[in-house]
Structure formats: structure tokens, C-alpha cells
Amino acid sequence: MKATVFDIKKGVFQVPVGELSALLPTDSFFWLDIDGASEEELQYVATVLHLSEPTSSWLPRFGQRARLEAGSMQTRISTWGVGSSGLPSEVHILYTQSWLLTVHAGCGSSMDRARGTYRNVVDTIAAQHFLGLLIILTELVASFDTLLEQLDELLNTLEDQVIQLPKEAQIEQLVRLRKQLWSLHRILEPQEMAARHLALSIKGLPGKGERADLVRDYAERISDLIDWINDLRQRATDAMESYGTSISNRQSQVINRLTIISAIFLPLTFLTGYFGMNFQWMLDNVVKSMEAFLILGVGLFVAMISSTLLLFKSQGWLGQKQQKKPAGVTAGILQEHATDAQSGAGGGSAMRK
């Protein structure tokens, strides 16, 4: 396995982990980036860099909460970035005045972007090594932007589908989306708190005010991500509530249709039962001809159905009737909107001036 070294003087080159002791720079600040190393390889790296306990045992131990600990000799950071799989991946960072070490598994794209930034400000990093650390932290935070944009697009699609045609699969997607957003929130919230604590700690040191401002800007960037995540979580909750409302509305529509059908057949059932009693007087005096049969057996049923449908239509139960607005009213509304638009445009022009 090879590690990537960014030497302030020589630029970028790759070194086999087993040859680090012989090829690492000794006269300039360098950044050593290790992606996907085994525990044994990381123990060897700790030996080459002369790391003592508990730092050497911390280096390969992933699955921790975010931390930013600044000491007199080194700064130890456990943070997160979005890896090549599209999921958050833990990153361990160790910073001293002589070198910078990053250990991760799958965050190579963020490190590539950081190295691109290094090339543009290499002289500044040579004078202010701490800036190199902030560049890496900023790129790791920026890697969450793409992930949140994808989740935002997915949520937009689900919101439209829930309103138009709600299905059970959508609620399952919303539940998974909420869990993923909650996981991101749990990752970033401790990181923001640790960054703010580190900014306060650095600010108390003499001559470290500029570093404290950089760390505080980093914490503000994380805070913006947390606000974005909270907004997406609230939208996902609202979409789930909209799903329940849509399902209730569809069930209400089905019940209404069944009720209307039952109401239509209720009088027909009464007539069928009434004439089905076969009164002898009715048979002898009323139903004695084809005309009587057509009037009572067919015409009465048709008349009953027609009366019921007309009654339902007059009550609006068979569908909403669209009422046409008078032309004068429509023209007035359009004129009002035009006036409001002109007023808004005038106000905007005044503000720009």
C-alpha cells in the first residue's frame, strides 16, 4: 500500500508505507495522507513518526465521536467526510508544527481537492502550517454539500409524489431519509461543539487570534450544514404528515362514493320490497296490464333514480361545480395584481438605489 506525501518543497509524490522512514522529508513541512491502511501499517506509521501512547493506539481506532483536541505539541482530530461510496466516513487527523497526518478509508476525493488547494497556496502554507489543516477540514465539510443536495432532490421528488399519488413505498423512503438525516445530525453536532471549544481554547493563547478566527469560521460552516439538515428533517416530517392526509382524503372519497351508491339503491330496495309483498288487491286491481307493469315496474324505478341523482347533483355530492366569476370581478383581480407587481418593482428599485 502507498501513502501520498505533499512536501512543501518537492510537491506531491507517493511512497510505499514500508519505506516511509527513508523517504519522508526531514527539512520541510509535509502532509502525509494514508487511505485504507491496515492496523499493522498504521502502527508502523506511528513508529516512523515517533508517536507515543495513547496517540499511536488512537490512530487506527475508528468508530469514535468527533473530537478536536489541541495540545502544546500536537492537535488530534476525529472528524467525518463523505467517502467515495456516498456515505460518511471517519477521518483521523494529527497535526504538529513539522508535519500533518490524515488517516481514512474512502475520502480520497476530498483529499484530492485539498491537495489542489495546497498547490495554489503552497507559499502561504509554508509560512502558516495551520492553514493546511484548515484546508483539509474545510474540504471534508464541503463533501457533505453534494450528499445533502442529493437528499434534497430526493425529498422534492417524494413531496410531489405524496401529493399526486401516495403509495406505501414513499413512506418507507421517507422513513429511511429521516434516519439518514438523523445520522448526519449526530455526526456533525459534536463536531461543531468541538470546533467552537477549540476556537475558544486557541483564542486564549498569545498570538493565536487569527487561528481562532479560522476555526470559528469552520464551526460556522458546520452550523450551516446542521441547519440545512434540520430543515430537511422537518420537510421529511411534513411530507409524512401529507402522506397521511392524502391517504385519509382518498379513503374519504371512496367512502363517499360507496355512500352515494348505497343512497341510490336504498329507495330502489324499498320499492322492490314493497311490490314484492304481492298484495292480492294490488294484483287484482293495479297490475293488470302491460302499461301498469311498465309504469310501476320500470317507470317508477327510473323516476326514483333520476330524482335521487338530481338531488345529489343539486347538493354538489356528485362533484364540485366550477363557478364562473363575472368579467368585471376577474378584471378587478387582474388589475389588483398588476398594481401590486408595480408597487413591488418600485420598492425593489428603491432598495437597490
Query: How far is Cα of residue 135 from the mean position of the Cα atoms in its chain?
Result: 25
The C-alpha atoms of residue 37 and residue 53 are separated, in whole angstroms, by 19
Burial class (CB in 10 A: 0-12, 13-18, 19+), 135: buried
Q: What are residue 319's phi and psi, to 5 degrees? A: 140, 155
**What DSSP string runs through 42-81?**
HHHHHHHTTPPTTHHHHTT--S---EEEE-SS-EEEEEEE
Look at residue 189 and tell me if it is in a domain.
yes
pTM of the model: 0.71
Cα distance between residue 91 and residue 77, in whole Å = 8
Nearest to 108 by CA among 214, 220, 228, 2: 2
* Coil/strand/helix, residue 88: strand
| Angle, in degrees to the nearest 10, between helices 129-164 and 108-120 | 130
Does residue 312 form part of some domain?
Answer: no
Contact 191, 90 (CB under 8 A): no
Classify residue 53 as exposed, middle or buried by CB count within 10 Å of its CB (0-12, 13-18, 19+).
exposed
Does a structural domain hold residue 289?
A: no
pLDDT of residue 347: 45
Contact predicate 174/236, CB 8 Å: yes
* Residue the block writes with cell 489543516: 133
Q: Is 42 within a domain?
A: yes
What gap in Å lies between CA 64 and CA 189, rounded to an integer?
14
Distance of CA 46 to the CA centre of its chain: 38
User: CB–CB of 65/123 below 8 Å?
Assistant: no
Please list the pLDDT of the chain residue by residue as tens digits (353 residues): 789 999 988 889 998 988 888 888 888 899 999 998 899 999 999 999 999 888 888 888 888 778 888 777 888 899 999 988 888 999 999 999 899 999 998 898 999 999 999 999 998 998 888 899 999 999 999 999 999 999 999 999 999 888 888 888 888 999 999 999 999 999 999 889 888 887 877 765 544 667 788 888 989 999 999 999 999 999 999 998 888 888 888 888 888 888 888 888 888 888 778 777 777 777 676 667 777 777 777 888 888 888 888 887 887 777 654 444 444 444 444 454 445 544 444 444 343 33
Which domain covers residue 226, as residue numbers? 2-245
Output the pLDDT for position 29: 92
Query: Does residue 257 fall inside a structural domain?
Result: no
- Flag whether 160 is in a domain: yes
Q: What is d(CA 297, CA 285) in angstroms, rounded to the nearest whole number? A: 15
Whole-number pLDDT of residue 209: 63
What amino acid occupies position 244?
A: G
Q: Is residue 346 part of a domain?
A: no
Question: Where residue 167 sits, what CATH number does that domain have?
Answer: 3.30.460.20
Show the cell assigned to 230.
434540520
Domain count, the chain: 1
